């Protein structure tokens, strides 16, 4: 569907009946067309992409560059196959490219580090393997090839008709980029800002030390890029970046306050804190124990990210006891 002149949006399904879509965008230009993001690597997604192109009278060969906002499976999984079919070049930030091999190819080391992290944050031994391996199913939906072109902060991508500033927005992923077209005031923002849900920001072996601080800095920094249309990786296109960014920052402030309260009655591990937070508030709230193993892991990693931010702000302290990190309120 052409949503504004020169920009086509194609919605690609999630695999295994998981609800949700990835929005990918084709931006037409006099010197070639840019595809922003791919989708999961599955035959259904490839078919949906073909149908979406056809609906807008485009062909695979019309795509010249595939720019990936970040390497999560729902944005990058299909990039290699599309590269072959379109005879296009895959483009992404250098930092993101540097994570591909350890995440999707030789992932034993990363799995070991994550297991260590989950264990040291209090995940009980009988849940450890289930949570540690909760994301392995994703690998079948990713073809983990390295990009043809690596981007650096401040690069510019032009297709003859539109010119995009490459803005690195670490937080959701360390090498996540947004693309900004200054004349049109368009912002293609991947998973950095979503209208209906709060993007996941978790602490893990590839996230950097304080991903939530990085994320909030990235959100605040975007304020200087005045935008009339924000094209996200999921959910509706919207036009109020400042408002939405404010709501997301507010959400994290509330979560931090809730964690401070949870820490008021004793020293707790991140796992213990996570079990006391009501999750999925947008859909009425779900107790930690009722979440899937995958969601429980995300919940723990998000909790650690909040605790790391609170620690950097001097509001909580951390001690190590028998190999487990325990947090206490300093308020």
CA dist 282 and 262 (Å) reads 21
Compute the least distance from the CB of residue 108 to Zn ion, in Å: 23
**Among residues 72, 81, 204, 297, which is the contact residue for Zn ion, using CB under 5 A?**
72
Count CA atoms within 13 Å of residue 64 on its CB side.
12
Neighbour tally for 217: CB within 10 Å? 14
Range in contact with Zn ion (rule: CB under 5 A) among 107-115, 128-136, 229-237, 267-275 = 229-237
Torsion over CA of 72, 89, 43 and 45, rounded to 10 degrees? 60
Of 52 and 190, nearer to Zn ion (C-beta) is 190
The interface with Zn ion within residues 150-169 (CB under 5 A) comprises none
Q: Rule CB under 5 A: say whether 96 interacts with Zn ion.
A: no
Q: Rule CB under 5 A: say whether 202 interacts with Zn ion.
A: no
User: Burial code of 59-94, b = ≥16 C-beta within 10 A, e = fewer?
Assistant: eeebbbbbbbbbbbbbbbbbbbbbbebbebebbbbe
Q: Rule CB under 5 A: say whether 233 interacts with Zn ion.
A: yes
Binding mask 177-196 for Zn ion (x = CB under 5 A): --------------x-----
CA dist 2 and 47 (Å) reads 19
How many residues at the interface with Zn ion, by CB under 5 A?
A: 4
- The residue at minimum Cβ distance from Zn ion is 72
Residue 31, CA distances (Å) to 87, 158, 293 in order: 15, 8, 46
CA dist 77 and 50 (Å) reads 16
Range in contact with Zn ion (rule: CB under 5 A) among 66-74, 180-188, 260-268, 294-302 = 66-74
Compute the least distance from the CB of residue 234 to Zn ion, in Å: 6
Tokens of 201: 């920001």
Compute the least distance from the CB of residue 181 to Zn ion, in Å: 21
Compute the least distance from the CB of residue 21 to Zn ion, in Å: 10
Q: Rule CB under 5 A: say whether 74 interacts with Zn ion.
A: yes
Compute the least distance from the CB of residue 221 to Zn ion, in Å: 19
Close Cβ partners of 266 (under 8 Å, ≥ 6 residues apart): 328
Binding residues vs Zn ion (CB under 5 A) = 72, 74, 191, 233
């Amino acid at each position: 569907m052409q949503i504004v002149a020169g920009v086509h949006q194609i919605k690609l399904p999630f695999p295994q009946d998981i609800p949700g879509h990835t929005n990918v965008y084709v931006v037409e230009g006099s010197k070639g067309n840019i595809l922003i993001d791919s989708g999961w690597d599955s035959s259904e997604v490839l078919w949906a992409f073909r149908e979406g192109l056809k609906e807008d009278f485009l062909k695979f060969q019309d795509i010249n560059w595939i720019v990936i906002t970040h390497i999560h499976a729902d944005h990058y999984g299909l990039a290699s196959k599309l590269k072959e079919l379109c005879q296009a070049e895959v483009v992404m930030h250098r930092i993101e490219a540097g994570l591909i091999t350890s995440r999707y190819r030789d992932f034993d080391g990363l799995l070991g580090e994550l297991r260590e992290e989950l264990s040291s944050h209090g995940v009980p031994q009988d849940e450890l393997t289930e949570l540690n391996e909760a994301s392995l199913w994703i690998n079948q939906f990713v073809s983990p090839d390295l990009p043809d072109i690596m981007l650096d902060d401040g690069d510019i991508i032009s297709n003859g008709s539109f010119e995009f500033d490459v803005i690195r927005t670490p937080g959701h992923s360390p090498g996540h980029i947004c693309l900004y077209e200054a004349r049109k005031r368009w912002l293609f923002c991947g998973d950095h800002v979503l209208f209906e849900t709060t993007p996941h920001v978790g602490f893990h072996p590839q996230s950097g030390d304080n991903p939530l601080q990085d994320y909030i800095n990235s959100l605040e920094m975007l304020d200087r890029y005045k935008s009339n249309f924000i094209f996200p990786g999921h959910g509706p296109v919207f036009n109020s970046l400042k408002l939405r960014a404010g709501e997301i920052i507010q959400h994290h402030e509330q979560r931090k306050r809730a964690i401070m309260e949870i820490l008021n009655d004793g020293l707790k591990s991140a796992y213990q804190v996570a079990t006391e937070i009501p999750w999925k508030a947008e859909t009425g709230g779900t107790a930690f124990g009722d979440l899937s193993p995958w969601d429980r892991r995300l919940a723990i990693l998000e909790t650690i990210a909040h605790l790391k931010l609170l620690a950097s702000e001097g509001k909580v302290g951390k001690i190590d006891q028998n190999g487990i990190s325990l947090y206490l309120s300093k308020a």
